Structure 1
């Protein structure tokens, strides 16, 4: 418990800090002020919307030391399952690579197809974040998350060549940016995605649009108060505003995560990580409705009104999160491994361990009855 004297001292110290940093808020307001006049109203459009989501690694870890098995599962908002496999941090990288190809060397999975398109012959060549483990050293589990992201991009790339019966908006979970690809492979993948989208139009006259929605963004976090003070997106109708690249760059520690092809032409470093142009979007009709950061595929920036208008009808019906694309929420519900499904998978772990223990299997039964974290009793 903080005593009253200390509270008073802290209050004065906080007020002094805020006073000294007032110029920072003034600068943010100046940076964001031009966006008020760049705000546009969203006009509703009728387009089929689908979403693609992978399981969340934190919610789908099957933990049982010394094992840490994660489920790689990708589904869409129509509950079509594109991938389901189990991977642990100790899974040999070469074995994981071999899963992607048939014995003659032809791709057997979406990831294998993407690797063949990018002309890479190993997972370390695809991503510098996946490396063979050194014997005797602890293995970092984070590379499994990188593998999951690669699978999601591969499935998106694969979906773009299927036949579509109508104009379709594909809504991705997260911004259209990535740092997991090696060298310029991400840009080559983006070009391949754009080629497939153009092929859809040339072959069947179907428009395929691509956008990514994030729950959080450093850009929005940095400028949220300044936007409220400057009345940016404080409208009584659904609206959006395009975020200039220089405003994005100020929000990121590493500016290359905001540097698109439009900035490369100004003499900067080549764009390796960015496939989308950020827009701040409010789907609700009230001034205080939530604002979401949305990336629109760079080649389709000119169709931003169509894309956001197509997303509007889906977002209005958003549940349980209001004014958030419903197709994305449905995909999350379909992808999550929870409750009964998760219990079954956890039991598979125990069964596998029990079968490997042989005559010592009874020890596992006793082990399961023990409290794994007795310290939790202090919260009850």
Structure 2
């Protein structure tokens, strides 16, 4: 079992709006640790990922595979800032998502000693890529998985989310109809037409089968959704799981592997232990966060010059006097 998770780690006092983009797997392998602010020029970010005209990082290698060299060509949501408009910090979340997809694509190229189930934190679908680049990425992922089969190694890919509009919409109806109301672990496949009704944008639920029937091509969806209950109680939580579209016919085998991992889940019961480990590893907390916070204060101290004493007074003041009421 290998799970990956990425996190935006924010500081307690941070006038620069620094966000640490970090992606780690369940074995505590760190694939990305990057400091980004909303004011970081895209040209600076692009320079980090290319060296001698070749991709030097997982994101750069993914961009090279997709045939793009600029971040704004990779995603329409990454645009150069305009001098007449304030910078929107939302693009940092898009950048993090692109980094997570790039690292997943990179992991699929590794050598595995045994059959492996890769668990992605989130559903296997995205709308941040430009044009048909996400569909091209999915084809590349499929090719890498098939390449491993030549050496008798099976790679399985699933995406698991904590929330889903599909589950939110149909949760009460499922309870009334007794769907997944069992005393044993169970799962049910979600039909595309049922899934489509839960989204504002129907293309977020449009699979490859729609294109085969003469409909619009699938540009955003890489997985087939299943609703899964890992516990043995009628009232255990139900989770949305995306199985990689080419592997949907192997759902029973794949979910069986995921069940074994979920039964060992802690501290959240009936939730894959590998994802919980990845989340724990990705979070910057405690001593690590304190070191980063001290570096921010040091940078502000240097930038203030002769007025740096004001920062020392500021640090001694109570930042949240209202908490005394508790």
User: Is TM-score (shorter-chain normalized) higher than 0.5?
Assistant: yes
2:19 alignment partner in structure 1: 70
Structure scoring higher RCO (CA < 8 A, sep ≥ 6) equals 1
The one-character-per-residue Cα deviations of 1:60-110 (angstroms, maximum 9, x if unpaired) are: 1125453100001110000000111100000010110011011x2111100
Contact 2:14 2:296 in 1 (8 A): no
Shift of 1:227: 0.6
- Does 1:252 find its partner at 2:199? yes
Query: Is 1:174 matched up with 2:131?
Result: no
Unaligned stretches of 5+ residues in structure 1: 1-48
Query: Which of 91, 100, 105 lines up with 1:152 in the alignment?
Result: 100
Corresponding position of 1:196 = 144
What is the SS of the residue equivalent to 1:99?
A: helix
Shift of 1:373: 4.3
Query: How many residues matched?
Result: 326
Which residue of 65, 75, 84 corresponds with 1:117? 65
Q: Distance in 2 between matches of 1:348 and 1:231?
A: 55
Runs of 4+ with >4 A deviation: none
**Please, what is the CA RMSD of the aligned residues?**
1.3
Give the secondary-structure state (helix, strand or coil) at the position aligned to 2:235: coil
> 80, 88, 110: which is aligned to 1:162?
110
1:209-224 correspondence to structure 2 within 5 Å = 209-224=156-171
Q: State whether residues 245 and 263 of structure 1, in contact with CA within 8 Å, keep that contact through their aligned partners in structure 2.
A: no
Q: Per-residue displacement from partner, 1:258-301 (whole Å, max 9, x unpaired)?
A: 11111222333221110000000011112211111000000000
Q: CA deviation at 1:379?
A: 4.6
Alignment match of 1:86 (pick from 22, 26, 35)? 35
What is the TM-score when the length of structure 2 is the normalising length? Answer: 0.97
Q: Counterparts of 1:268 and 1:313 in 2: how far apart (Å)?
A: 38
Of structures 1 and 2, the larger Rg is shown by 1
SS of residue matched to 2:11: strand
Kindly report which structure 2 residues correspond to 1:1-380, keeping only aligned pairs within 5 A, or say none.
Answer: 49-55=1-7, 57=8, 60-62=9-11, 64=13, 66-102=15-51, 104-202=52-150, 204-374=151-321, 376-377=322-323, 379-380=325-326
Q: Which runs of 5+ in 2 are unaligned?
A: none
Q: Matched residues in 1 for 2:289 and 2:84: separation?
A: 32
